[in-house]
Amino acid sequence: MKSSLADLDTPCVTILLDRLAGNIARVQGLVARSGKALRPHVKTHKIPAIGAMQIAAGAIGLTCQKLGEAEVFIDAGVTDDILITFNIVGQAKTGRLMDLSERIRRLSVVADNDIVLRGISDAAKGGGRRVPVLIECDTGFGRNGVQTPEAALDLALLADKLPGTQFAGLASYPNNAPRTREFYAGAIKLFGKAGLPIPVLSGGGSPALNSLADYPMMTEHRVGTYVYNDVMMVQSGVASWDDCAMHVRATVVSRPTEDRAIIDAGSKMLTREQFFVKNFGHIVEYPDAALVNMSEEHGMIDLTASARKPRVGETISIVPNHCCVVSNMVDEVYGIRDGAVELVWPVAARGLMR
Amino acid sequence: MKSSLADLDTPCVTILLDRLAGNIARVQGLVARSGKALRPHVKTHKIPAIGAMQIAAGAIGLTCQKLGEAEVFIDAGVTDDILITFNIVGQAKTGRLMDLSERIRRLSVVADNDIVLRGISDAAKGGGRRVPVLIECDTGFGRNGVQTPEAALDLALLADKLPGTQFAGLASYPNNAPRTREFYAGAIKLFGKAGLPIPVLSGGGSPALNSLADYPMMTEHRVGTYVYNDVMMVQSGVASWDDCAMHVRATVVSRPTEDRAIIDAGSKMLTREQFFVKNFGHIVEYPDAALVNMSEEHGMIDLTASARKPRVGETISIVPNHCCVVSNMVDEVYGIRDGAVELVWPVAARGLMR
């Protein structure tokens, strides 16, 4: 007999399986209708079985942020097409990249400087294989990326010239960065003049799902958070509370005052990520209560605005501010359907930052 | 042959072993000279071998925040005296508590409400053993704890009356909360009038190490962060950069502009905890550079104020804002002495929140 949701000891992370399946189907449809390929980012879940669901729904392949994630998903045989969207630096890593390249049909990477390109080229030398490289462009987000279309062309030409690498396209994140449209308009003109086709133009971002049509030049979309959704996604208007598939379950362990409840989940479960969110999570059963502060293992809830107040021993469900970092705090998540625990998924790529 | 620090692939967490030993010895001496017992909190390191060093230096026992931590440290045989400073709620947990109670000389807990007390009492019934319970007091921090000395006395009397529990003292955190002195002055008078001795008065907090003498009523001090130290500890004046034993090692993977460097450590390594700190970590080799932002796997460094600029491929060392949460992100840490990797410690209690 399956155990029930109520029997799960807390704190723990639960995944509502019907919502998960709904999110995967809905966004696959949305991206497909925009004429782009969907390449889901595994960083959000780090679970091969969910990657397999995304592929089964029609995704062209998967995105990994680090080599360690790619190793887990390739070991699990989930897909034959992975893009690693992180500069791979150092011989330890380029060696692992070459090993992985032999194991699937297409393992592509990004690069935004010649040191990264040359490192991959050196590792690939003599192997006969050319690693597909997308040139990463900074279209205003202020993270990685070449700063101009001219610099992108220079690197693309270098990738084609070096042994062991091959220009495979351009990539940036997120679509709605300030200069995306003008950057790519310039790049398309410049690459055209140079006679160099851009096979893939890869964009991304979950909030950008609302504006796919505004970026017609993009051929594929990378997106992670949509699979679970979270407070940030609801706040940015691309999901409703009923689309939130990840709930952190916690128990009220203290009611020190009439207007304060303490739960057994703190920053080591929910993290203190806020970005533009006021508190630290949305409490499903007490939407007017506010998770206002956290220690490492305690959550402090202000009940002032909540007419109903939970009692000590009661279990509550919290939608985290940012689901992608919560996945990374736990070794397993519980898959829930109709109030029963249907499965336990190990978070196989948790903590794999190298 | 030992591998060298420079050979470690990044990102990773290193512990400078001489600084670690120095911190343990220095704070043990400081607390001992104040006439209090030291009960280090394992939440900071979650590593039994470090707990053993703390006990060997003279600590009276250890503090754990969750049962899962206590299980790891009892399995490792590090000490025969553990205090769990968290309300234990629910039969699954009280059952585990009873099992653990049989395995060491003294396993004490805290409680701040009668539901917690009765739950422990019910689980202990018939076992013949009485679990020592410290009543947790909220002296102004606004987390757990009874609100008045009167409420503390009521719970203490209940603990003594119930089968399976026994009043063992008062506890609060941190010492420098607004009402600590007046709360305990009142409690000592009230408990004295009731003829109930307070065997232990347990305080805590790393910043409070600077003011131990201001809290002469306290008999023991619980403290965690001092073992590694971090930006918050340096900012609060109880440690210098040379006392910081935890360094996150990261590699510069991009220099997209003259004044920007990108590293391979982000919020999944350093977390986004800031509290009163401006940025996300202190860069040892480039103290004038600022780790101004992070994505999950990227750190964004502003080099504007740094005359020297790191190159792509260079490895840097970062003192995190809050070491206790960084420990919880990794499965192992590397112990470093004289530039060599002397040992690898599994973070045995990582992620054990239940």
Inter-CA distances, A15 with A21, A344, B68, Å: 10, 10, 23
Inter-CA distances, A236 with A140, A175, A275, Å: 19, 15, 12
Query: Residue A235 half-sphere exposure, CB side, CA atoms within 13 Å?
Result: 15
- How far does B89 lie from chain A, in Å, by closest CA? 6
CB count in 10 Å sphere of residue A338:
10
- How far does B93 lie from chain A, in Å, by closest CA? 8
Interface test with B, best of A116, A254, A303, A331 (most B CBs within 10 A): A254
- The single-letter DSSP state of residue B176 is T
Q: Which residue of A has its CA nearest to B353?
A: A11
User: Exposed, middle or buried: residue B230 (CB in 10 Å: 0-12, 13-18, 19+)?
Assistant: buried
Q: What is the pLDDT of residue A128?
A: 80
Interface test with A, best of B13, B135, B222, B253 (most A CBs within 10 A): B253
In sequence order, the β-bridge partners of residue B82 are: B62, B107
Inter-CA distances, B233 with B236, B240, B242, B276, B322, Å: 5, 8, 12, 11, 8
Inter-CA distances, A8 with A248, A263, A342, B277, Å: 11, 15, 12, 37
Domains belonging to chain B, first-starting first, are 5-11+233-346 (2.40.37.20), 34-227 (3.20.20.10)
Q: Which residue of B has its CA nearest to A265?
A: B353
Residue A192 to residue B219: CA distance in whole angstroms? 77
CB pairs under 8 A between A and B: 166
Residue A265 to residue A251: CA distance in whole angstroms? 8
Put simply, the answer to whether A89 touches B143 (Cβ < 8 Å) is no
Put simply, the answer to whether A271 touches B269 (Cβ < 8 Å) is no
Q: What is the pLDDT of residue B1?
A: 59
Residue A126 has pLDDT above 80, yes or no: no
- The single-letter DSSP state of residue A201 is E
Reading the block at residue B181, the tokens are 């002195």
Which chain A residues have a beta carbon less than 8 Å from that of B272? 271-274
pLDDT, one tens digit per residue, over A141-152 is 999 999 999 999
pLDDT, one tens digit per residue, over A72-119 is 999 999 999 999 999 999 999 999 999 999 999 999 999 999 999 999
Residue A98 to residue A124: CA distance in whole angstroms? 6
Residue A1 has pLDDT above 70, yes or no: no
Q: Is the ipTM of this complex over 0.95?
A: yes
Model-level pTM?
0.97
Residue B198 to residue B188: CA distance in whole angstroms? 8
Q: Is the dihedral of CA A56, B296, A75, B328 positive or negative?
A: negative
Residue B324 has pLDDT above 80, yes or no: yes
Q: Is the dihedral of CA B3, B6, B9, B10 positive or negative?
A: positive
**Average model confidence (pLDDT) for chain B?**
97
Q: What is the pLDDT of residue B137?
A: 98
* β-bridge pairing B220-223 and A340-346: unpaired
Put simply, the answer to whether B253 touches A142 (Cβ < 8 Å) is no
Residue A156 to residue B314: CA distance in whole angstroms? 24
Residue in B44, B54, B56, B96 with CA at minimum distance from that of residue B75: B96
Are A349 and A74 in contact, with CB atoms under 8 Å apart?
no
Q: What is the pLDDT of residue B127?
A: 77
Which chain A residues have a beta carbon less than 8 Å from that of B262? 87, 143-144
Reading the block at residue A274, the tokens are 């806020």
Interface test with B, best of A115, A120, A143, A248 (most B CBs within 10 A): A143
Alpha helices (H) in chain B, listed in sequence order: 17-33, 48-56, 67-75, 91-101, 114-124, 149-161, 180-193, 231-235, 267-270, 323-327
In sequence order, the β-bridge partners of residue A174 are: none
**Average model confidence (pLDDT) for chain A?**
97
Residue A211 to residue A220: CA distance in whole angstroms? 13
Residue B196 to residue B157: CA distance in whole angstroms? 8
Put simply, the answer to whether A87 touches B254 (Cβ < 8 Å) is yes
Predicted confidence band at B198 (pLDDT cuts at 50, 70, 90)?
very high
Lowest mean pLDDT among A62-71, A120-129, B104-113, B305-314: A120-129
Average pLDDT over residues A281-296: 98
Residue environment code for B264-282, b if the CB has 16+ CB neighbours within 10 A, otherwise e? bbbbbbbbbbeeebebbbb
Put simply, the answer to whether B86 touches A264 (Cβ < 8 Å) is yes
Q: Which residue of B has its CA nearest to A271?
A: B271
Are B177 and B141 in contact, with CB atoms under 8 Å apart?
yes
Reading the block at residue A117, the tokens are 């390109």
Which residue in this structure is represented by tokens 């059963």? A285
Are A44 and A63 in contact, with CB atoms under 8 Å apart?
no
User: Exposed, middle or buried: residue A313 (CB in 10 Å: 0-12, 13-18, 19+)?
Assistant: middle
Put simply, the answer to whether A256 touches B66 (Cβ < 8 Å) is no
Q: What is the pLDDT of residue B276?
A: 87
Put simply, the answer to whether B113 touches A255 (Cβ < 8 Å) is yes
Put simply, the answer to whether B143 touches A300 (Cβ < 8 Å) is yes
pLDDT, one tens digit per residue, over B74-116 is 999 999 999 999 999 999 999 999 999 999 999 999 999 999 9
Q: What is the pLDDT of residue B25?
A: 98
Put simply, the answer to whether B43 touches A295 (Cβ < 8 Å) is no
